[in-house]
Each structure stands twice: as C-alpha cells, then as structure tokens.
Structure 1
Amino acid sequence: MRRPRSLSCFSVRTVFIVLLCCLVTSSLWADDSLGDKVQQFTLENGLTLLVAERHDSPTFTAYMTIGVGSVNEVGDNRGVAHLLEHMRFKGTRQIGTRDFAAEKPLLDKIEQTAVALERLEQQPHADASRKQVMVDQLHALQQQHRSLVVKDEFSQIYSRHGGVGFNAFTGKDLTSYLISLPTNKLELWMSLEADRMQNAVLREFYTEREVVLEERRRSYESRPGGMMYEALLATAFRVHPYRHPVIGWTSDIENLTLAETSDFLHRYYAPVNAVIAIVGDVNAEQTHQLVERYFGGMSPGEKIPPVTAVEPPQQGERRTEVRFDAEPQLLVAFHKPTLPSRDDYTFDLLSHLLTEGPRSRLYRSLVLEQQLATKVTSYSAPGARYNNLFVVSLTPRSPHTTAELEQALYRELELLKQQPVSEQELTPIRKQLRADRLRYLKSNNGLANMLTRFQVVAGDWRYLVDYDENIARIHGDDLQQVAQRWLTKENRSVITLVQEADDEAL
C-alpha cells in the first residue's frame, strides 16, 4: 500500500495560514462556547489530552502532535524532525516486521556496515575497490532485510478498520500525526499510537534518507517557489533557526546518522512534549481512561528546551536574486512579532485588507486597475512560536517587470501608513474571518488540528477562544501604526526570481 503522502516542510506554512482563519468561539454548538465544550486532561507524565465530543456521526478524528519541529534542531542534526516523520511510519517491534528477533541482528549489521562505509568515504584518499566492496555488502544486507519487512503495515491496519486520512506533517514548531476512524476503533488507535511512541523501530534508515534527498531535489531544488522560499528565510534570518529549511539542507540530510536520529526520537517524542486531541463521537471520561491506560505508564521523556537564539533587529534592506528558468516572481517580507502580541492580531486583519479577495487593496490596485500583476497573496511565515515574517508574494504581468511591481507595492503600503483604515473596510473583513473559521470548524479534523497546534504554539489552546474578541478590539489606527512600525525599508527582505537567459541566445 502506498505510504501516506507527507504534508511536511513547504506546505505547512499554508496549513498554518488556514488555521489563522479558523480561531473562534463557534456557533456550531448553539449557546455553548468552545471553551466549555473542550475538556482537558493532563497525565502525571506531562501528556496533554484534549477531547471535544461531537455525536453527529459515529466517527472521530485523532491528532497526536509533538511539540518538536525543525526549530529545535542544531547544527549536527538539521533535518532530523522531518526524517523522523518518515521513519515513524516504518513500524515498531510488533508492526512492520515478520520476525523482529531475526530482524534485529540484521539491522545491527546494516548499521555497522553503513557507518564503516561513511567513515571510509570521509577519508580524502579512500581506496575505491574497498569502498565498492562495502557498498556491495550494504546492498546485500538491505536486500536480505527486505524479506523481513512488512511495508506500510500501520496504514494497512488502519485501512482495514475504516481509517481515512492517515497522514503526518512536520513544520518549524511541531510534528503532527492524524487519522479519522469509526468510533468503535478508539482503543485500536490508542494501542497503535502508544506502541509507536514507545517501541518505534527506525528500519530502512539509509534507504529512507535517500527518499528524503529525492524529495528535497524534487520539491525545492527544481521548483522556483521552493528555491525562493528557502532564499527568503536564509536572507531574512541571520541568527534564528527559522532560517533553515524544515527538510534540511542537502549536506544535512546526507550526514544524518541513525544514532543521532534515534537519540532525538527517544529524548523528545515522549509524553511531556505530546498533545493528543480526540474530536468526534466519543465520551470524554472514557477517552481519558483509555489514554491513562495506554500512555500513563510511559516515562515522561525530556522536555524540549526553548530556543534561546533571538534574531536581532534588521538594520537595512536585504536583497537576494534567485536565477531559474521560470516566469519572474517577487517576495517581499517584513519581520513582525508573533502571538499573542496585539500586532500579530493586527497583521491577520492587515493580510485580508491587502490581498484577500477582489476588493482587497493590493488586488484591486495592482491586478485590476494598474494590471501590473497576475497574482498577489500575503501570509505569515515560517512558524508561529517565535517572531516571524509578514510576506507578500507577487507575480508580474508581462511585459511589466518585478521592479515596476515592487515600486507599486511600496506606494500602496505608504498609502496605508498615511491614514487609518476605515471601519467600513474593517467590518466585512471581520465578518469574512468569522465565516472562514466557522466553515473550518465544521470538520472534526479542523478542530483537532487547531487544538493541538495552539496548545503547542501558544502554550494553551484557549488562545483561540478569545480570538474574535481580540480582533474586535483592533481598529483602523492600529493597522496604520503597525504599517508604520514594521513595513519599513530597513525591516524588509526582497527575493526576486530572475528568469535565466537562454544559453543559445547568448
């Protein structure tokens, strides 16, 4: 069976943008507030359980979110969180193997051979014939190992029991695993995920590392959007680990070891860093009892340390060109504070004001009236636990250039700084934010995602309960002041995609 498609890396920021449009005290539950409907339990080992009962269909959605992402990596293990997203689908001592007693010594031989080969490759004048012998040995061991592996057994089990949407994604701030199942399969989920937390086996490590390298080549090194986004983060951040891609740089992935990956797994993928959300046709107290039974006896693990690096204030504009055979594009980003700053709420409104829909200021001016652009969007990136960026993405309309479009953008931003936004403009934006949130909250998946995400990122899922009230407190002069404070030349980074000239034309 096909391995679940990863939602990791570049797509996660898009997921978060959607989530920022989904924070509300929902009217879907009549007069009861979201705060009253969600029940929270904390186990002695630090695991947090959030349960929201919804009995409109005999199903539930489960999210297991670990508060560990690429921001928590250091120089010698960058890319490890994303690689572990892949590896934790490989199974346990019971799942994914035909005979673990026979498999274990073979896994040890593979690791010994692979480590010896990598040490040989690091030598400046390594013997080529000896290297080839070891490559052949490793290949033979891996071939032998395949006969003991049951591919995608987690996915097969869930599928046989009616599971849908079995997947995972890794971001800057967290890693999430998700599935929707019939109500009577709740204990099955508990059993499988408790086994995965305690007994994960990192089988097929070196072949999966090659899969990740190919994913990087396909999604980042050969796609203009991926190249621009990586250039943006590396340009805007000089100190903070947000500058590094979730998937890792190529040299990071190539040098990740099984020992480093296993150490990261066993220290941090543990109850003290975990949040479970169960949303659907379940009983909260019974769910709590099951979580206590399956997860309560586990060791807490090591709490992930906070990132101490602080990005210093930017003192001048930064510019980077990306050369690629594609249509020109433009990214303009400004440093900004993250939640729960009042300015962060203000940027949610500002993003809608500028780029959301045909009535938004930038779309109306740059796309419809001046016809300088074919597309304009804005979003916050790359994470939310630490101060981040407000990004405007623009695609010029031929024959106009990125330079023309960039100057037109700055003129519009200057207009925003000159006078407060009217209530007439803000009122429909607030309504649209609420409508978007209500649509998202209709799904068990949407609510489970929000609960775990904000428990991890904000430190308390209740952050989303008061979101509407906080948005209502923001007025037109707040948007003006935020634009004056943050949307400045010295605070911006500009990435331009320049189309490479045809070699034959030179």
Structure 2
Amino acid sequence: MTNAFRFLIVNLVLFLVPLQTFADVSLSHDALKDLENNVKFYQLENGLRVILYRRDFAPVFAGVVSVRVGGVDEKVGSTGISHMLEHMAFKGTEEVGTKDFTKEKKILDQIEELAKNSNGARELSSEQLEKWQQLHQELSEIWDSEAFTRLYRERGASEQNATTDKELTNFFVNFPKNAFEFWAWMESERLLNPIMRQYYKERDVVMEERRMRYDDDPEGSLYEQLLATAYLTHPYRNPVIGFPEDISGVTANQTAEFHKKYYVPERIVVSVVGDIVPENAIKVIRKYFGRLPKADNPAFTDVIEPPQIEQRKFVLTRDASPSLAIAYHKPNYPHPDDPAISMMLEVLAGSSVSPMYEELVKKRQVAASLDFHEGPGAAFPNLVMFFVSAKHPHTNKEVLKNFDAVFERFKKHGTTQEELDNAKRATAVEYLIHLTSNMSLAKNFASSELIYNNWKALVDWYEKSMAVTKEDILRVSNQYFAENSRTVGMLEPSK
C-alpha cells in the first residue's frame, strides 16, 4: 500500500476514537461501525459517485473532485497530458476568465490551426511566428485568466490546489459552509466546459517545472530512471509530468480530446467533509454535477508487467553526493500480503531505532539518511523503494553491501513481538501526528473509492494491518525481497 494511503487510514478513525485507544493499537468494532454509518454514499444517474461526511465542529467544508485519470492512461508520445489538464483547470470556463468568449474561441481556433501545421508549434516559420504572437496579443486583451482563483479567494477559499499522479487527478479546496453551492457550480463548470486558455504559455511553464524537478535535480533524475528501469512495459515507468519531447509537442486540441475521453462521470468522485447536511448537500451536487452527460468509461490499461527474474542496475553521474535507490516489486492492495509488507517496512526501517536505520546510520555510519516509499501508484502491482544517501567518505557500493547484510539478517531472524507491537503503535502515533483536517478525509475517501471501488477499503486495510503477525513479517520479507527481483540505481558524483 502506498505511503499516502497508510496515512489516511488512521486520519479517518482518529476523529472517531479517543487517543487512549492507541495505547494497545486497537480500534473498536463500534468505532469502525460508527464511521461506516456516518459516511453517506450516493451515485448519480450519470454514474458519478458522491461521498459525504458531516463534521460540524467549524462552519467550513473541504470539497474534493477526483478523477480516475493519470499517467497510466497516457501513451508514449503524449505523456504529461493529464498534468496539462490539471493546469488548464484553473484557467476558467466559457463564463469565467474571458471578456468575450465568442471572439476568444475564434482566435483559439486560429492558434490551433497554426499549431497543427507546425508540429505542435515547435516549427513555426517566421511568418507563422508573427501571426502566432499577434493572436496571443489579441487574446491577452480579452483574457482574465486569474478570474477562477480570484472568485474562490473572494468567497473565503483556502488550500485551493490540484495534483496529478499515476492514476488520479485531484482538485480540492476549503470553503465556508455558505459557499457550498458556489463551489458545486464552479467545480462542475470546469468539468463541463474546460477551456484550453493560455495553453501554450502553460506548456512552457510545465517544461520549466520538469527541468527543475527532474532534469536539473539529481534526486529527481534518480527516481525517474529507477521507475524506467524497474518497469519495462507498464506505464508506471513513464513520468507523470511527461517526457520533454511529449510536453512540447502535445496540442491544446489533443488535450481537449483527452479530457472528453477520460473525464466521464463513472471516473469521477465528489467528496465533501465538513459542516454539511448530507441530505441537503446531495441535492445541490445532483443539480450541478448531474449535468455531466453519461458517457462510455474507457477501459483501464491491461498492460501486465512481466516478472523480473534478474537484478537490474544503473548508474547516474551528477554534481551530487552519492546516493542509492533500491526497488523491489510487490503486489498492490487488496492482495492479502500488502498490509504485511507495509508493517514489515515499518519494523525494518520506519524509525530511528529500526534495524536498518540503527545499523546503517548509527552503528556502521555508512549512511547519512534512510527512507522508504511504496509506489509509484496503488491501482497496479507496485514497488517498495529504499533511498539511502552515503555518508562521506563511504561509497554507494559500501552502503549496498551493508544494506544487504542487515536485510539478510532480518530475513533470517525476523522480528520480535515487542518490535512488531512498537511498529503498530508507531504507525498509529505517526498518523495521529499527521492528523490534518476535513481535507485529508475528503481526499482519501475519493481516492479509495476510485482505486478500490470501495471507500471502506480504508477500514479493511487498517484491520488487516493490525492483525499482521511475526510470522507474516518473516514470510513476506523472504518472499518479495529477493535480489533477482530488484532494481538498484546509484547516483555517483561527477569526477
């Protein structure tokens, strides 16, 4: 299970269960039933799903619109298109963001004709470039591209943002309760009538974002190459932000067609947590989101990654300190071993007193830091990824040798009941520390429903993780963490 999903489990139950409950890391049956009884689930006639949860301690709500679309839905040649749509979602609609949409539409059509005839605007002739600049100048006089976010701020919005990952695109915001109908109207409008406003300007912004986060960032480059090496065929290997040549070549029209294909009601969940009355809120949601036309739900990717049968290695040379990335293939939830793997990771490397950290960082002092992550997505078989930075003057090879020695000892001897209990307790405390707000709940209700087709998977996973035994830990550590099923990436400093 991904790290983000682990965080959300206890975020849900912490609102229902007193702190002292975590003394023995047990969640009562009644508390879980209380959660199930108070979350209201609906499905509109067009197929869109709605999750509502009332928490009225403050007159606010968190609204989340999640779409089951992301990097896994893209083909090589158009990677990054989901992320571009995220950017476009803040540029307004036919009614918001322009002084004259009729005029704007005519100019946008002319721009697209130029893009079509110049390889996505990458090969504009001098004459075409002059026309391109002229058209954009005309648009700048009728655009009000910040109108969407400005209207939100004027009504008291906070935390307004969006994210795109391997399989989800999320739009989220906090509002005072009296802005609920405004929120429902605006969010449904940008689903119904997205405009590729300032598309090519944003394309340049994304190219710069990619350069900063991946091309010029050694750790970003290491992560990108790790996925590209660990996966040979599955789209998890492709960067969500896109390959540079794809970002620079995809047009506004292609992006609009992608939206039309994937932003269909059956792939959308609306999730609201806060000071709402579900029986009233669903009427408003049905009024606005019910306008989305029912459409065919395109099939999810059926690409199956072949089993890895031998270790893969790669080396990146950058102006950076040495660091190591190690990835092992694993099943994704709801496979019954997923909770045991997550708990094993917490025991092995989840704290400063865990065996891996204790040995590599404290005792042997070959590593400066140690971290792990489960990903890059949750809907398909994924990875456990360890990231270890070497401590000067030690090398990546030394770190890997010590990592393997500690892991092999763990795989031979397993853990104690006390260590497992501490890991379960630490997991609960960690969630408590990260207890956030309505927003965390709303986001994760939506993601669980979209990935697992059941928001209650949150509860199921937690119960299963708390039932993990020492024998489970020993078994999964040997079953899934073999050398022949891993990928090792080394970031080496330039000479």
| TM-score higher than 0.5 | yes
**Aligned residue in 2 for 1:341:** 335
Does residue 20 (structure 1) correspond to residue 38 (structure 2)? The answer is no
Alignment equivalent of 1:331, drawn from 318, 325, 342: 325
Q: Which structure 2 residues correspond to residues 37-186 of structure 1 after superposition, within 5 A?
A: 37-118=38-119, 131-186=125-180
SS, match of residue 342 in structure 1 = coil
Residues 155-194 of structure 1: CA distance to partner in whole angstroms, max 9, x if unpaired?
A: 1011000000000000001000000000010000001011
| Paired letter, 1:77 | S
Contact kept in structure 2, 1:62 and 1:448, CA below 8 Å: yes
Q: Which structure 2 residues correspond to residues 182-221 of structure 1 after superposition, within 5 A?
A: 182-221=176-215
> Residue 476 of structure 1: CA displacement?
1.1
> Residue 116 of structure 1: CA displacement?
2.0
**Aligned residue in 2 for 1:321:** 315
In structure 2, relative to structure 1, the CA distance for the partners of 1:93 and 1:397 (3 Å cut) is: same
Contact kept in structure 2, 1:419 and 1:477, CA below 8 Å: no
SS, match of residue 29 in structure 1 = coil
The CA distance in 1 between the partners of 2:150 and 2:137, in whole Å, is: 23
> Residue 387 of structure 1: CA displacement?
0.4
Gaps of 5+ in 1: 1-12, 123-129, 502-506
Alignment equivalent of 1:469, drawn from 452, 463, 478: 463
Alignment equivalent of 1:390, drawn from 384, 395, 398: 384
In structure 2, relative to structure 1, the CA distance for the partners of 1:418 and 1:409 (3 Å cut) is: same
SS, match of residue 399 in structure 1 = coil
SS, match of residue 255 in structure 1 = coil
> Residue 254 of structure 1: CA displacement?
1.4
Alignment equivalent of 1:459, drawn from 446, 450, 453: 453
Identity of aligned residues (%): 31
**Aligned residue in 1 for 2:351:** 357
> Residue 473 of structure 1: CA displacement?
2.1
Identify which range, 383-392 or 456-465, moves more after superposition. Answer: 456-465
**Aligned residue in 2 for 1:286:** 280
| Paired letter, 2:239 | P
Contact kept in structure 2, 1:328 and 1:395, CA below 8 Å: yes
The CA distance in 1 between the partners of 2:53 and 2:475, in whole Å, is: 39
| Paired letter, 2:9 | L
**Aligned residue in 2 for 1:258:** 252
Contact kept in structure 1, 2:145 and 2:197, CA below 8 Å: no
> Residue 103 of structure 1: CA displacement?
1.1
In structure 2, relative to structure 1, the CA distance for the partners of 1:120 and 1:36 (3 Å cut) is: closer
SS, match of residue 119 in structure 2 = helix
Contact kept in structure 2, 1:22 and 1:436, CA below 8 Å: no
The CA distance in 2 between the partners of 1:213 and 1:281, in whole Å, is: 40
The CA distance in 1 between the partners of 2:461 and 2:233, in whole Å, is: 31
Cα root mean square deviation, aligned: 1.6
The CA distance in 1 between the partners of 2:436 and 2:130, in whole Å, is: 54
Gaps of 5+ in 2: 18-29
The CA distance in 2 between the partners of 1:23 and 1:444, in whole Å, is: 14
**Aligned residue in 2 for 1:499:** 493
The CA distance in 2 between the partners of 1:174 and 1:166, in whole Å, is: 17
In structure 2, relative to structure 1, the CA distance for the partners of 1:458 and 1:440 (3 Å cut) is: farther
| Paired letter, 1:212 | V
In structure 2, relative to structure 1, the CA distance for the partners of 1:320 and 1:391 (3 Å cut) is: same
The CA distance in 2 between the partners of 1:92 and 1:321, in whole Å, is: 46
Contact kept in structure 1, 2:120 and 2:251, CA below 8 Å: no
Contact kept in structure 2, 1:120 and 1:131, CA below 8 Å: no
| Paired letter, 1:371 | Q
In structure 2, relative to structure 1, the CA distance for the partners of 1:346 and 1:109 (3 Å cut) is: same
> Residue 119 of structure 1: CA displacement?
7.3
The CA distance in 2 between the partners of 1:446 and 1:121, in whole Å, is: 41
**Aligned residue in 2 for 1:406:** 400
The CA distance in 2 between the partners of 1:162 and 1:249, in whole Å, is: 37
Residues 209-250 of structure 1: CA distance to partner in whole angstroms, max 9, x if unpaired?
A: 111111111111000111001100000000100000001111
The CA distance in 2 between the partners of 1:131 and 1:238, in whole Å, is: 38
Contact kept in structure 1, 2:122 and 2:249, CA below 8 Å: no
Contact kept in structure 2, 1:190 and 1:291, CA below 8 Å: yes
SS, match of residue 166 in structure 1 = strand
Residues 476-497 of structure 1: CA distance to partner in whole angstroms, max 9, x if unpaired?
A: 1211111111111110100100
| Paired letter, 2:63 | A
The CA distance in 2 between the partners of 1:450 and 1:244, in whole Å, is: 24
The CA distance in 1 between the partners of 2:430 and 2:294, in whole Å, is: 38
Contact kept in structure 2, 1:52 and 1:279, CA below 8 Å: yes
> Residue 416 of structure 1: CA displacement?
1.5
The CA distance in 2 between the partners of 1:200 and 1:194, in whole Å, is: 10
The CA distance in 1 between the partners of 2:127 and 2:69, in whole Å, is: 39
**Aligned residue in 1 for 2:16:** 29
The CA distance in 2 between the partners of 1:175 and 1:443, in whole Å, is: 20
| Paired letter, 1:17 | N
| Paired letter, 1:21 | F
| Paired letter, 1:298 | L
Contact kept in structure 1, 2:114 and 2:128, CA below 8 Å: yes
**Aligned residue in 2 for 1:425:** 419
> Residue 120 of structure 1: CA displacement?
8.8
Contact kept in structure 2, 1:269 and 1:301, CA below 8 Å: no
The CA distance in 1 between the partners of 2:303 and 2:283, in whole Å, is: 40
> Residue 205 of structure 1: CA displacement?
1.4
In structure 2, relative to structure 1, the CA distance for the partners of 1:23 and 1:120 (3 Å cut) is: closer
Query: How many correspondences in the alignment?
Result: 480
| Paired letter, 2:326 | V
The CA distance in 1 between the partners of 2:148 and 2:433, in whole Å, is: 31
Residues 274-318 of structure 1: CA distance to partner in whole angstroms, max 9, x if unpaired?
A: 001100000001111111111113212331311110001001000
Identify which range, 252-261 or 161-170, moves more after superposition. Answer: 252-261
The CA distance in 1 between the partners of 2:300 and 2:259, in whole Å, is: 17
Residues 424-465 of structure 1: CA distance to partner in whole angstroms, max 9, x if unpaired?
A: 101011112222334445510111111011111122110011
TM-score by length of 2: 0.94
Identify which range, 108-117 or 410-419, moves more after superposition. Answer: 108-117
Residues 128-169 of structure 1: CA distance to partner in whole angstroms, max 9, x if unpaired?
A: xx8112112101111111111102211101100000000000
> Residue 114 of structure 1: CA displacement?
2.3
The CA distance in 2 between the partners of 1:113 and 1:327, in whole Å, is: 46
| Paired letter, 1:26 | V
